[in-house]
A = this chain, B = another copy of it.
Amino acid sequence: MNIAFIGLGNMGAPMAMNLLKAGHALKVFDLNPAAMQALAEAGAQAALSPRAACDGAECVLTMLPAAAHVHSVLTADEGVLAGIAPDVPLIDSSTIDPASAQRFAELAARQGTPFADAPVSGGTGGAAAGTLTFMVGASPALFERIQPVLTAMGKHIVHCGGVGMGQTAKICNNLVLGVSMAAVAEAMSLGAALGIDTKILADIINTSSGRCWSSDTYNPYPGIVETAPASRGYSGGFGADLMLKDLGLATGAAKSVHQPAFMGALAEQLYQALSQRGDGRLDFSAIIKLYRDA
């Protein structure tokens, strides 16, 4: 299939690569020429603008840092909406707020372009391995159409509901994640200070009602889970600044629907404090540094 792919950052580049590997023909665009060069060497065609990338495309994907970038890539004179052919699906895999996704869908709909939000989880590792989870907000018909394309990049393609529901699912999940990671960091540090063997503590939590991914798979205390960032100096993984961004999306979305978000708002401030002290590029489990010298 002819596919346009806009946004070749840490996530976008390996995702585009997997589309190539799956046999698709790609036109790509990124503001960074080096990023385009890498894809071009792998067989993609570098385009001079998002609009140009859409030329002849049967499907268009965008993977960008924030809603403002998506807005610009879609609506600029040389943007996607100026170049995309009628009825060609437009899939945005950026993580943005649900309301923006819905606004973009409306803009697209005005010219007959079906729009899906499809944020991912799984990180750069999952992007490279093609094992991402896609959380998709789209009409059932559109979901069916785009599923084959997404399958080339991900393992779990989940239909979350109409437009915006992919984003909703992602930020709600990450709200729980960001809070529970802080809670596990707090509890493990407390246990250590009280003198318990932290491996025993983790075992108990992991087989009790405190059980959670942040404890059993990604424990922030060093040496508990061999494969977790905590066991390699908090390098790699899911950056604290990205968690900060996602918690900001969650509290922002809560505000938009007049919901309180007590726990999310406090967690957001804690990750902000972590970032301010210079640790924003570490894995988000480094939040434990607010509790102990880790």
Contact = CB atoms under 8 A, between A and B. Distances in A.
Interface of A: 98, 121, 133, 135, 156, 158-162, 164-165, 168-169, 171-177, 179-180, 182-184, 186-191, 193-197, 200-201, 203-205, 207-215, 217-218, 248, 250, 253-255, 257-270, 272-273, 275-276, 290-292
B176 A212 contact: yes
B186 A168 contact: no
Contacts of A159: 200
Given A188-B172, A213-B210, A276-B259, A164 B194 contact: yes
A213 B208 CA distance: 8
A215 B165 CA distance: 19
Contacts of A214: 209, 212
A173 B209 contact: yes
A265 B98 CA distance: 22
Contacts of A193: 254, 257-259
B267 A263 contact: yes
